Amino acid sequence: MKPTDTSNPEYFHQVVDCQFGCPAHTDVPAYIRMIAQGEFSDAYMENRKSNVFPGILGRVCDRPCEPACRRGRVEEKPVAICRLKRVAADHRDDITSRLPKAPATSNGKKVALIGAGCASLTVANDLAPLGYEVTIFEALDTTGGLMRTNIPQFRLPPKVLDEEIGYILDMGVDLKTNHPIESLKGLLTEGYDAVFVGTGAPRGKNLEIPGRYDSDRIHIGIDWLESVAFEHTKEIGKKVLIIGVGNTAMDCCRTSLRIGAEDVKVMARKPRGFFKASDWELEDAEEENVEILINHSPKEFVIEDGKLVGMKFELMEYKVDDNGRIDRGTVTGEKIIPCDDVVLAIGQDNAFPWIERDIGIEFDNWDCPVVDETTMMCAIDGVFFGGDSAFGPKNIIWAVEHGHQAAISMHRYCQGEDIADRLPRGMNLASQKMGMHEWSFSNDYDPASRRIMPHVDLKKRFKKLDIEVELGFTAEQAIQEVERCLNCDIQTVFSADLCIECDACIDICPVNCLTITANGDEDDLRSRLSAPAENHEQPLYVSADLPHTSRVMVKDEDLCVHCSLCAERCPTGAWDMQKSTLLVPYAQDELAEEQSTSAAST
Amino acid sequence: MSFIAKPNVSHPGMPKNSLGLSQRDYEGTVSTLCAGCGHDSVTAAIIQAVFELGIEPHMLAKMSGIGCSSKTPAYFVSQAHGFNSVHGRMPSVTTGANAANRDLTYIGVSGDGDSLSIGVGQFVHAIRRNLNMCYVIENNGVYGLTKGQFSASADIGSKPKKGQPNLQEPIDAVSTALSLGATYIARSFSGDKEQLVPLLKGALMHRGFALVDIVSPCVTFNDHEGSTKSYAHTRQFYHNVINMDYIPPREEIKAAYDDGEAMPIEMHDGSTIVLRKIDREYEPTSRAASFKYLRERFNAGEITTGLLYLDESRAEMHELMGNVDTPLTQLPLDELHPGKEELKKLQSRYR
């Protein structure tokens, strides 16, 4: 293999599994260390830089970082990254003075953002401080989009939403609530320099089976949740069936329990392991005694005397092949399960009835607009999409990242620059050595297991709809959990020219990730390392030829616990521990770059 | 030294040995030697050898004297027996321990100072007795613990970090052992575990005195230009004459060895050592031929490594003395100590 090019920012970026897994590239290990030092406000601001809504995401993020976390490979459970984010948010001081502010004078450019959800709010957050006049149009009378209407208050208290959305609106954003956009064509004639569509995927999927329209006790999940959120719906029957087993289904079943249901069953078509819901959401629902019935495929609603009395299911049996793929299943029988209400939570679709089909936007087979994945622009110049409205339902953190990228494009577009010619990502590396064997971070491996989030007592939590179930980590829990982080951003950086091949690093490495051997191609090298290197998603770090023997140092990044012992045992300093900081450009960096270039040219 | 212990976490894909233990189970405390010390690599090789042989930790005895090398038994197999003895006296303490309990596997770790200066008398007599042990010399040519004076194994012309080059003849542990009739003699290098680990395995399983002389650079006092025991010098003049593989009892010997080049030698416990000559001239079973070869290569400035001499036929100490098979520690007291009357009878035979 060729020597690894560590000057490419993407190399060390991919070693930081959590940050690499995060669509918004939050510098997780950096903020966890800030929490460890009690610098909660700094940790909050570090989060806010990339994910804008740390308090919200610290509760309800889909947390792609956690399945990616190296700790989950070294032992069973990843670091509770999401919960630590909430620790930063819960314990921060007043940070309003540290927030970006709009300049005194506008830059003369006006942008319109449609929908007041997380995607549009991120665009506003990035563009208002640059001097843009930002207008948000929202159909409802409140902000937050699905974060407010679909996530129940017992998971995400409204005051958390209000506070973090307030930070953005206070930058001088013009919010127009109760202002649905009925025609994009019309809006485009109103003189905005750029338009952003962040309207989500607002249409819950229906289930067209017999009996569907014979009762008013059959609800579409996301509409029903919204209705509960706005207190239009205040009760539900005693026996409730939730169809579908995604995260919306989990919110539906838990909401039902708080407004009158006593027996809630979640009906899954497939077996466990094929559920769409996140593991922790399933756990939380099951803790509340929600029953999940597997292998039940809906067949029809059972209506007697015009009243919904139950639902008929086909009982399924599936075969799973060696690759873990499931077949279509065979029907082995039928069963009627009695119920008073049914909530359909089987997915969401995009819907753009307000976008005229003759104005130049292309739509694909799923009625999604065709949007460039880098620039977020559609076929009409100056019209950008983000969040669920761009590529179908994803999650909040993706919407935030779309917002950041769209903001960069909108800025470049408004300044008359090529939107594809964006600033590249960069990387800083800085040694963390403080003394002979002292590092700037807690390098010892803490074998503590993952802390468990304390919950409000089962009896108490159902009394009201807005009792937040998760209490947040205690100080003791936070202190222990931060020590579980492996500091993957503090990289083992190797200088081949200094190596005397004494093997000290290889001998001390607790997870056998180092080898000095003759070079070869990747498959060959992987077969000759100190420990099996079977995780091909994790790279090998290959050095230049070593001075004494022309062999190479190979590091399998997979299970490195960043304990620094290789660097401590190295007599020549060939190994060093260096903090890699990914430099992610935002709209403000584009502006700064433009200003420095124009200053240089004058 | 490091402030943290080696983390208690390991690669889930690492193998277990015949006892169901992992290599991590054979570790000791973290080394307090200088970072980059060759001795730490030797320690790692010992850990690997003992792990692969599946030696039960409580059936291993780690013996040492004084010096950097003699600290190292603390760094492997924490659960083994250990005796850190007086400077240069490891061989006699091992003789005593072995006399009392012949069932243990003995590994003595010594240095060039401990074995070739203060302890040279002990060293040579342990060889004469053919004491059943694995005797490791971590050979760096200097007294590291007293800041780098030349030891008895320093080569003529080798330069110290400061001061004059060495002018005195070195004592070569390998040719000394050869002349005294050691039955397993190997030389290796701390930086070549591929060679070192099989040599250690063979030495641990050999019945009789097994010497493994290991060039183990002192990274602090003897790793500079002009030193003949540095990493760079050793790599440059390293000359492997004979490869060996250790094959445990009942394991099939691979067909690849049957090509005439390979010499399988059966050992007392039923395991096999397969020697493969890299230099066809070399005769690893002839003392005279080996001696001649080693001197010639030494004069040419080469460091000859590999399993340099092997004799499985000679009796070890207990056999020479006609001792009982049962370790003395396990004999009932009345057998071990027959009483005054028996002693009188015995003494009367010599009157």
Q: Output the domain CATH number for residue B286.
A: 3.40.50.970
CB contact at 8 A, A111 and A596:
no
* A:B CB pairs within 8 Å: 98
Residue in A closest to B29 by C-alpha: A508
**ipTM for the whole complex:** 0.90
Buried b (16+ CB within 10 A) or exposed e, B264-278: ebebeeebbbbbbbe
Residue whose entry in the numeric block shows the structure tokens 């094929």 = A274
Structural domain span for residue B88: 23-321
Q: Mean pLDDT, to the nearest integer, of A207-220? A: 94
Which phi and psi angles does A302 have, rounded to 5°?
-100, 115
Mean pLDDT over each residue of chain A, to the nearest integer: 95
Determine what percent of chain A is predicted with pLDDT higher than 70. 100
Asked if the Cβ–Cβ distance from A502 to B2 is below 8 Å, we say no
**What are the E-state strand segments in chain B?**
60-64, 81-84, 105-111, 133-139, 142-143, 149-150, 184-189, 209-215, 238-247, 262-266, 272-277, 303-310
What percentage of chain A's residues is helix, strand, coil (to nearest 5)?
A: 35, 20, 50
Q: What CA–CA distance (Å, rounded) separates A15 from A483? A: 19
pTM score: 0.90
Helices (H), B82-205: 90-100, 112-116, 120-129, 173-180, 193-205
DSSP reduced 3-state for A166: helix
Residue B203: burial class (beta carbons within 10 Å; 0-12, 13-18, 19+): buried
Report the distance separating Cα B314 and Cα B308, nearest Å: 17
In chain A, % of residues over pLDDT 90: 94
Average pLDDT over residues B260-279: 80
- Whether residue A348 contacts residue A203, with contact meaning beta carbons closer than 8 Å, is answered with yes
Q: How far is A238 from chain B (nearest CA, A)?
A: 49
pLDDT band at A367 (very low <50, low <70, confident <90, very high): confident
Report yes or no on B340 lying in a domain: no
Let me know if residue B298 belongs to a domain. yes
Do the domain assignments include residue B18? no
User: How many CB atoms neighbour CB A474 within 10 A?
Assistant: 12
Give yes or no for residue A263 having a pLDDT over 50. yes
User: Would residue B348 count as lying in a domain?
Assistant: no
Is residue B259 in a domain?
yes
Domains of chain B: total: 1
* In-domain check, residue B334: no
Range A444-471 average pLDDT? 93
Q: What pLDDT, on the 0 to 100 scale, is given for residue A543?
A: 97
Task: Yes or no: say if B88 and B65 are a contact pair by the CB < 8 Å rule.
Answer: yes
Compute the nearest-CA separation of B225 from chain A (Å). Answer: 13
Residue in B14, B30, B219 nearest the CB of A502: B219
* Among chain B residues, CA nearest to A444: B4
Residue B263: pLDDT band (50, 70, 90) is confident
Q: Which chain A residues have a beta carbon less than 8 Å from that of B240? A: none
Q: Which of B151, B303, B316 is nearest to B231 (CA)?
A: B303
Residue B231 to residue A548, Cβ atoms within 8 A: yes
Residue B15 placed within a domain: no
Summarize pLDDT for B109-130 with one digit per residue, the tens: 999 999 999 999 999 999 999 9
pLDDT at B292 over 50: yes
Task: List, in order, residues 6 or more apart from B307 with CB less than 8 Å away.
Answer: B184, B185, B186, B199, B202, B242, B244, B273, B275, B284
Half-sphere exposure of A7 (CA within 13 A, CB side): 2
Model confidence at A246: pLDDT above 60: yes
Element (H, E) at A301: strand A296-304
Residue B161: inside a domain: yes
Question: Could you give the domains of chain A?
Answer: 9-97+446-484 (1.10.1060.10), 99-202+350-414 (3.50.50.60), 204-348 (3.50.50.60), 490-583 (3.30.70.20)
Q: Which residues of A touch B (CB under 8 A)?
A: 74-75, 437-438, 443-445, 447, 500-504, 506-508, 510-513, 531-532, 534, 548-549, 559, 561, 563, 565, 568-572
